[in-house]
A = this chain, B = another copy of it.
Amino acid sequence: MPMERLERAIEELKRRRVGVGIVLKPQNIYYLTGFYPTAFAVLLLEDEPSLLVSPMDEALASRSGVEVEVVRSFRRRLRRIGGRRVGIEKGYASFEFWERYLRGRQVVSLGFIEEMRMVKDGEELRRIRASARVAEKVLGEVEALLDSVRSERELAARAEYLLRREAGSAFEVIVASGKNSSIPHHTPAGELDTSCVIVDLGARVEHYASDITRTFSLSGGGVFPELYEAVLEAQRAAIERCVAGATAGDVDRAAREVLREYRLERHFLHSTGHGIGLEVHEAPRLSRGSRMVLREGMVVTVEPGVYRELGVRVEDMVLIGKRPKLITSYRK
């Protein structure tokens, strides 16, 4: 699969009359070659593509089938890259990289690689689903621990263990309880207050991430039921708009409109979701006003949340199609 992608990417470059594309982002290198760098590495996209790798990565890279060049000094090697017109990942390559190696040349975006990555193929969907299964399983184990574990950190540590024992963890598990739940990216700390517990976790299977959030309440009283119902309804409305042809902004608006009816819109502090795959957050972003058109085969999260005296967030992964298809659907 990577080899086909590599050819398509080289075709794209030619169409744009770019002499050489300089790929630095590990996920893009992996997507195009099957080699996931563990140290600094460069994929030179040109007629005869090649991987520039550190001695540490020689063994891994040489399994890719792409020509490998072991580099002792990247500074010296990168200065030798020729061409009047070069492609870079504009949002990933640093200003310094450009200043040092590319100043004075025409610079073209390699954004089409991340556009390719938006639509998942069969093998990618298999891995994403496998990753989602692990996340759901761990979420179940975490839920079962709620009445016995005493601190947020302990619960998060257990969740990390369970994710890593099965596969890998895609990002630091969030456990935010009681008033901490009103901080969207709270770092686990303090006692576990089971009146309201946000658990946000994801697995990683063969480099592909999953991402799921549930908000639990063992007591279920106070403002919790009202906030929870509003968020669930907002999520349902947003998921319904996850169809090919809708825009990312449509999905975001659907969630926001429901929360407005509940007078909770100003407590919804982030966007409605994001694409997911090799990165936990990738294109398309489901953000306010986005005109990006959703296409069949994209995978996104849908995660409205409200953050008041308590926070509630519910997040699932959805495959875009003629109808939305839930990839996660954890319920006790």
Q: List the interface of chain A (C-beta within 8 A of B).
A: 38-39, 54-57, 59-60, 88, 90-99, 107, 153-154, 156-158, 160-161, 164-165, 169, 182-185, 187, 269-270
Contacts and interface: CB of A to CB of B under 8 A. Distances in A.
A148 to B, nearest CB: 15
A150 to B, nearest CB: 12
A325 to B, nearest CB: 29
B94 A39 contact: no
A153 B164 contact: yes
Contacts of A38: 184-185, 187
Contact of A56 (B88, B91, B93, B185): B185
A contact patch SS: helix
Nearest to A154: B165
29 contacts: A38-B185, A38-B187, A39-B185, A39-B270, A54-B269, A54-B270, A55-B269, A56-B183, A56-B185, A56-B270, A59-B182, A59-B183, A60-B183, A88-B95, A91-B95, A93-B95, A94-B95, A95-B95, A95-B97, A95-B98, A95-B107, A98-B98, A153-B164, A157-B160, A158-B161, A160-B160, A160-B164, A160-B169, A161-B161
A278 to B, nearest CB: 15
Nearest to A93: B95
B160 A156 contact: no
Nearest to A90: B96
A199 to B, nearest CB: 15
A56 B165 contact: no
A163 to B, nearest CB: 8
Contacts of A157: 160-161, 164-165
A37 to B, nearest CB: 9
Contacts of A107: 95
